[in-house]
């Protein structure tokens, strides 16, 4: 059909194009260098940064569900809270090792995600929203009704994780805590990134774009979504476990509706479907929240709500398109 040389060139070009998508871009490396720098040079902010890292991981998990799987969930806190309680209880019942706790929380929450995925994957967007909210509410009710185990409304007291790697103690300044959360988030991010650019990950993105076509090329759509949902649940569980271990406290609030809703806002701020949205959004959200909470301690939610409404009405593309446009101009110049 075409000259052998053209074919070779086409092959090389195609291989390059396929590889290039998954290659780390300089801005990504810069991002993680900045994260490392924050650990080295911002000791005053460890507590806040720890929260950012955990929330970022949690939002990354929701991004796998919404941004890649296309499933609208309003109850993702269920997995976060489940992992949180699981890790908290483990330290009380003989598994003080943080990493072991993390692993068990991941597996336990993954199982919960796997089981509930079959409820969530049925029905329309509305049904999904309701089922996801309900699962979170149900878990909240269970936690509330079992004060003997969970401490009920008073929260789980006496969470005491052991030494990290058998050497580092969680200090009150949060240095070990932040380092730990950041490292875990980084590792899980790398895994997620690998996953997303694998053929399996492509197939999940394909489902979101066009489920009909995806099934027509011979891919079992629902099985793919079950895997994505399970993985995301495990990630959320790890994020929750990190919170329990680094703050030594678990309250009913980890399962609350506003956590799921805030998480959506974080993704809207940061953008869905490119993995960094959760991390960037978490940072911006925490900064905005901090700023607003100082300004109007009781009413900051109002401004968050207004931000949400504005982002939807103006269109997030136009908001985030601005920096991209400027960068583009800068590059061309």
Residues linked to residue 250 through DSSP beta bridges, in sequence order: 156
Do residues 204 and 68 touch, judged by C-beta distance below 8 A?
yes
Residues 231-270 that bind other proteins (CB under 8 A): 257-258, 261, 264-265, 268
19/171 with CB nearer other proteins = 19
Distances in whole angstroms, Cα of residue 1 to Cα of each of 5, 7, 322 = 12, 9, 44
Residues 94-123 that bind other proteins (CB under 8 A): 119, 122-123
Q: Minimal CA–CA distance to 62: which of 259, 233, 243?
A: 233
Residues 69-98 that bind other proteins (CB under 8 A): 72, 74
33 binds other proteins (CB under 8 A): no
Number of residues that bind other proteins (CB under 8 A): 76
44 binds other proteins (CB under 8 A): no
Q: Of 95, 99, 103, 142, which one interacts with other proteins (CB under 8 A)?
A: 142
- Distance CA(274)–CA(265), nearest Å, equals 16
Q: For residue 332, what are its two tokens?
A: 């061309």
280 binds other proteins (CB under 8 A): no
13/154 with CB nearer other proteins = 13
295 binds other proteins (CB under 8 A): no
25 binds other proteins (CB under 8 A): no
Q: Of 10, 115, 318, 322, which one interacts with other proteins (CB under 8 A)?
A: 10
Q: Which stretch binds other proteins (CB under 8 A): 89-97, 198-206, 232-240, 274-282?
A: 198-206
Q: How far is the CB of 145 from other proteins (least distance, A)?
A: 6
Q: For residue 300, what are its two tokens?
A: 């900051």
5 binds other proteins (CB under 8 A): no
43/305 with CB nearer other proteins = 305
Q: Within 10 Å of residue 204's Cβ, how many Cβ atoms?
A: 23
Quote helix, strand, coil % in the chain, to nearest 5.
Answer: 80, 0, 20
203 binds other proteins (CB under 8 A): yes
Query: Where do we find the tokens 């995806």?
Result: 214
Residue 24 gets which letter from DSSP? Answer: P
205 binds other proteins (CB under 8 A): yes
Query: Where do we find the tokens 């990290």?
Result: 164
Distances in whole angstroms, Cα of residue 130 to Cα of each of 54, 73, 137, 235, 318 = 26, 9, 10, 22, 30
302 binds other proteins (CB under 8 A): yes
Q: Minimal CA–CA distance to 181: which of 38, 22, 29, 28?
A: 38
Question: Which runs of E-coded beta strand occur in the chain?
Answer: none
Q: Which stretch binds other proteins (CB under 8 A): 42-50, 91-99, 177-185, 306-314?
A: 306-314
Q: Of 133, 254, 275, 279, which one interacts with other proteins (CB under 8 A)?
A: 133
120/242 with CB nearer other proteins = 120
Residues 209-228 that bind other proteins (CB under 8 A): 209-210, 212-213, 215-220
Q: How far is the CB of 160 from other proteins (least distance, A)?
A: 30
Q: Minimal CA–CA distance to 61: which of 38, 82, 77?
A: 77
């Amino acid at each position: 059909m075409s000259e052998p040389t053209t074919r070779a060139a086409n092959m090389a070009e195609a291989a390059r194009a396929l590889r290039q998508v998954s290659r780390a871009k300089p801005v990504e490396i810069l991002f993680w260098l900045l994260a490392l720098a924050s650990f080295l040079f911002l000791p005053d902010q460890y507590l806040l940064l720890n929260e950012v890292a955990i929330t970022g991981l949690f939002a990354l998990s929701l991004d796998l569900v919404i941004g890649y799987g296309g499933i609208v969930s309003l109850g993702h806190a269920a997995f976060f809270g489940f992992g949180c309680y699981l890790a908290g209880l483990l330290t009380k019942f003989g598994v003080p090792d943080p990493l072991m706790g993390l692993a068990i929380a991941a597996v336990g929450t993954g199982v919960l995600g796997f089981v509930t995925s079959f409820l969530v994957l049925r029905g329309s967007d509305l049904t999904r929203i309701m089922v996801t909210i309900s699962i979170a509410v149900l878990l909240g009710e269970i936690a509330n009704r079992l004060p003997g185990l969970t401490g009920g409304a008073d929260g789980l007291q006496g969470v005491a994780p052991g030494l990290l790697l058998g050497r580092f103690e969680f200090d009150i300044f949060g240095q070990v805590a932040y380092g730990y959360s950041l490292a875990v988030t980084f590792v899980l991010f790398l895994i997620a990134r690998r996953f997303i650019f694998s053929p399996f990950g492509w197939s999940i993105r394909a489902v979101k774009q066009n489920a009909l076509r995806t099934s027509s090329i011979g891919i079992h759509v629902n099985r793919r979504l079950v895997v994505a949902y399970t993985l995301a649940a495990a990630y959320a569980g790890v994020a929750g476990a990190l919170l329990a271990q680094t703050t030594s406290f678990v309250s009913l609030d980890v399962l609350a509706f506003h956590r799921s809703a805030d998480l959506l806002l974080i993704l809207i701020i940061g953008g869905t479907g490119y993995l960094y949205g959760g991390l960037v959004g978490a940072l911006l959200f925490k900064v905005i929240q901090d700023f607003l909470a100082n300004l109007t301690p009781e009413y900051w939610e109002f401004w968050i709500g207004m931000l949400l409404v504005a982002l939807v009405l103006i269109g997030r593309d136009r908001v985030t398109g601005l920096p991209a446009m400027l960068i583009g101009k800068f590059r061309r110049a």
